Chain A
Amino acid sequence: MGRLDRRRFLQLSGGVAAVIASGRAPAYAQQTTLHWVRWSDFVPASDTLLKGKITEECQKALGIKLQLETINANDIQARVTSAIQSGNGPDIIFALNNWPQLYSTSLADVSDVAEEIGHEQGGYYPISKQVATVGNKWIGVPWAIGGGLVAYRKSWFDEIGYHTFPDTWEKLQDAGKKLKAKGTPIGQALSHSFGDPPGFWYPWLWSWGGKEVDADGKTVALNSKATLESVERAVPFWNEACDPGGLAWDDSSNNRAFLAGTICCTNNGASIYIEAKRKPDTYQTEKGTPMYKDIRHAPLPKGPGGQYNLPGPFTDMVMQYSKNQKAAKTFLKWVHTKPVFEEWFTSQQGYTDGATRYWEKDKVWSADPVLTPFKNLPRQGRLTGYAGPPGRAAAEVQTKYIIIDMYAKAVQGMKAQDAVNWATGELKSIYSV
Chain B
Amino acid sequence: MSLLSAASSRAYVVRRPRGPIGRMLEDERWLGLALLAPTIILLGLFVAYPFVKGIELAVTNTTVGQPGHFVGLQNFVALWHDDIFRMAVWNTCLYTVVATTTKLALGLWLALLLNRSFRGKAFMRAFILLPFIIPTVLSTFAWKWMFDPTFSVINYVLLHLHLITVADRINWLGEPVLAMVSVIIVNVWRGVPFFAISLLAGLQTISPELHEAAAIDGARAWARFRHVTWPLLLPVTMVIMLFSVIQTFADFQLVYVLTGGGPANTTQLFATYAYQIGIGTGLLSQGAAISLAIFPILLLVVIVQLVYIRRVETV
Q: Which residues of A contact B (CB under 8 A)?
A: 74, 77-78, 80-82, 84-85, 102-103, 105-106, 183, 190-193, 243-250, 253, 256-257, 260, 262, 396, 399-400, 405, 408-409, 412, 422, 425-426, 429
From residue 239 to 284 of chain B, which have CB atoms closer than 8 A to chain A? 259-266, 275-284
In the assembled complex, B101 has its CB within 8 A of some CB on chain A = no
- A412/B282 in contact, CB under 8 A: no
A78 and B279 contacting across the interface, CB-CB below 8 Å: yes
Q: Contact at B150–A408, with CB atoms within 8 Å?
A: no
Chain A residues near B171 (CB, 8 Å)? 244-245, 247-248
Contacts of B263 in A (CB 8 A): 190-191, 247-248, 408, 412
Contact indicator B150/A260 (Cβ below 8 Å): yes
Chain B nearest CB: distance from A156 CB in Å? 16
Among residues of B, the one whose C-beta sits closest to the C-beta of A406 is: B264
Q: How far in angstroms is the closest Cβ of chain B from A411?
A: 9
Q: Check B264 against A396 for contact (C-beta < 8 Å).
A: no
**Complex interface: chain A residues within 8 A of B81 (CB):** 429
**CB of B176 within 8 Å of the partner chain:** yes
B35 contacts partner chain A, Cβ-Cβ < 8 Å: no
B166 touches A248 (CB 8 A): no
Query: Can you list 13 A-B pairs, Cβ within 8 angstroms, ordered by A?
Result: A81-B64, A81-B279, A102-B64, A102-B281, A106-B64, A191-B263, A245-B171, A248-B174, A248-B179, A253-B150, A256-B151, A412-B264, A412-B266
B279 touches A77 (CB 8 A): yes
- Chain A residues positioned under 8 Å from B131 (CB to CB): none
In the bound complex, residues from chain B placing their C-beta under 8 Å from that of A245 are 148-150, 169, 171, 173-174
Across the interface, do B150 and A262 meet the contact criterion of CB distance under 8 Å?
Answer: yes
Inter-chain contact A105/B149, CB cutoff 8 Å: no
The CA of A396 and the CA of B276, in the complex, are separated in Å by 11
User: Is the beta-carbon distance between B65 and A103 smaller than 8 angstroms?
Assistant: yes
- B177 vs chain A, min Cβ distance (A): 10
A247–B281 CB distance below 8 A = no
Whether A183 lies near B179 (C-beta < 8 A) is no
B147 to chain A, nearest CB (A): 8
In contact, B280 and A78 (Cβ under 8 angstroms): yes
Minimal beta-carbon separation of A258 from chain B (angstroms): 10
Contact B149 A249 (CB under 8 A): yes
Q: Residues of A contacting B275 with CB < 8 Å?
A: 78
Q: State how many angstroms separate the Cβ of A401 from the closest Cβ of chain B.
A: 8
Render B155-197 as a binary contact track against A, CB cut-off 8 A, 1 for contact: 0000000000011010111111001000000000000000000
Is A257 a contact partner of B78 (Cβ separation < 8 A)?
Answer: no
**Nearest A residue to B78 by beta-carbon distance?**
A429
B65 touches A400 (CB 8 A): no
- Distance from A173 Cβ to chain B, minimum over Cβ atoms (Å): 18
Q: How far is the CA of A243 from the CA of B173 in the complex (A)?
A: 13
* Selected contact of B282 from candidates A77, A190, A247, CB within 8 Å: A77
B: which residues have CB within 8 A of A?
A: 64-66, 78, 81, 83, 148-151, 166-167, 169, 171-176, 179, 259-266, 275-284
Given that A84-B64, A190-B263 are contacting pairs, would A248 and B282 also be in contact in the complex, using a CB cutoff of 8 Å? no
Are A399 and B174 in contact, CB atoms less than 8 angstroms apart? no
CB pair A105 B175 closer than 8 Å: no
In the complex, what residues of B have CB within 8 A of residue A422's CB?
Answer: 83
Query: Which A residues are CB-close (under 8 A) to B280?
Result: 77-78, 81, 399
Distance between B171 CB and nearest chain A CB, rounded to angstroms: 5
From A77, which residue of chain B is reached at the shortest CB distance? Answer: B280
In the complex, are the beta carbons of A244 and B175 less than 8 A apart?
yes
Closest A-B pairs by Cβ, 7 of them: A245-B149, A106-B65, A247-B174, A248-B173, A408-B264, A248-B174, A247-B263
- From residue A399, how far is it (CB to closest CB) to chain B in Å? 5
Question: Using Cβ atoms and an 8 Å threshold, which residues of chain B touch A429?
Answer: 78, 81
Cross-chain contact B65 with A244 (CB below 8 angstroms): no
- Within the complex, what minimum Cβ distance (angstroms) separates A362 from chain B? 35
Q: Which residue of A lies closest to B260 (CB)?
A: A192
Contact A396–B149 (Cβ < 8 Å): no
Instruction: Give complex CA distance A429, B281 in Å.
Output: 14
Choose one: B148, B260, B277, B279; the contact of A400 (CB below 8 Å). Answer: B277
Q: Which residue of B has the minimal Cβ distance to A78? A: B279
**Given A102-B281, A248-B179, A399-B281: A85 in contact with B260 (beta carbons within 8 A):** no
Q: Which residue of B lies closest to A184 (CB)?
A: B166
A183, A248, A405, A412: the one within 8 Å of B259 (CB): A248
Given A244-B171, A247-B262, 16 further pairs, Cβ under 8 A? A77-B279, A80-B282, A81-B282, A81-B284, A85-B284, A245-B150, A245-B174, A246-B174, A247-B264, A248-B174, A248-B263, A250-B260, A408-B264, A412-B266, A425-B83, A429-B78
Tell me, in angstroms, the Cα distance from A396 to B262 when the chains sit together.
Answer: 18
A414's nearest neighbour on chain B, judged by CB, is B264
Of B150, B277, B284, which contacts A256 at CB under 8 A?
A: B150
Distance between B113 CB and nearest chain A CB, rounded to angstroms: 35
Complex: chain B residue closest to A422, CB-CB: B83
Contacts of A193 in B (CB 8 A): 260
| Nearest opposing residue in chain A for B167, CB measure | A183
Docked complex Cα distance between A32 and B253 (Å): 36
CB atoms of B265 and A405 under 8 A apart: yes
Residue from A77, A192, A248 in contact with B149 in the complex, judged by beta carbons closer than 8 Å: A248
Which residue of chain A lies nearest to B266 when distances are taken between CB atoms in the complex? A412
Most A Cβ at <10 Å: residue of B83, B280, B281: B280
B residues less than 8 Å from A260 (CB atoms) = 150-151
Contact across chains for B179 and A192 when beta carbons are under 8 A apart: no
CB distance from A335 to the nearest CB of B (A): 25
Residue among B150, B151, B169, B265 with max Cβ neighbours from chain A (10 Å): B150
Contacts of B64 in A (CB 8 A): 80-81, 84-85, 102-103, 106
The residues of B that contact A247 with a CB separation of less than 8 Å are 149, 171, 173-175, 262-264
Q: How many angstroms from the CA of A429 to the CA of B78 in the assembled complex?
A: 9
Give complex CA distance A245, B150 in Å: 7
Q: Are A253 and B149 within 8 A (Cβ)? A: yes
**Chain A min CB distance to B211 (Å):** 49
With a cutoff of 8 Å between Cβ atoms, the chain B residues found around residue A85 in the complex are 64-65, 284
Question: Given A191-B262, A408-B264, does the pair A105, B66 have CB atoms closer than 8 Å?
Answer: yes
A102 touching B174, Cβ below 8 Å: no
What's the nearest-Cβ distance from chain B to residue A327, in Å? 22
Q: Which of A105, A192, A248 contacts B65 (CB 8 A)?
A: A105
- B282 / chain A contacts, CB cutoff of 8 Å: 77, 80-81, 102-103
> Can you name the residue of chain A whose Cβ is closest to the Cβ of B258?
A248
Residues of B contacting A243 in the complex (Cβ-Cβ under 8 angstroms):
149-150
Whole-angstrom distance between the Cβ of B184 and the nearest chain A Cβ? 16
List the A side residues contacting B283 at CB < 8 Å: 396
Contacts of B266 in A (CB 8 A): 412
> Which chain B residues border A408 with CB–CB below 8 Å?
262-264
Alpha-carbon gap, A405 to B83, bound state (A): 12
Considering the complex, give the chain B residue whose CB is closest to the CB of A404.
Answer: B264
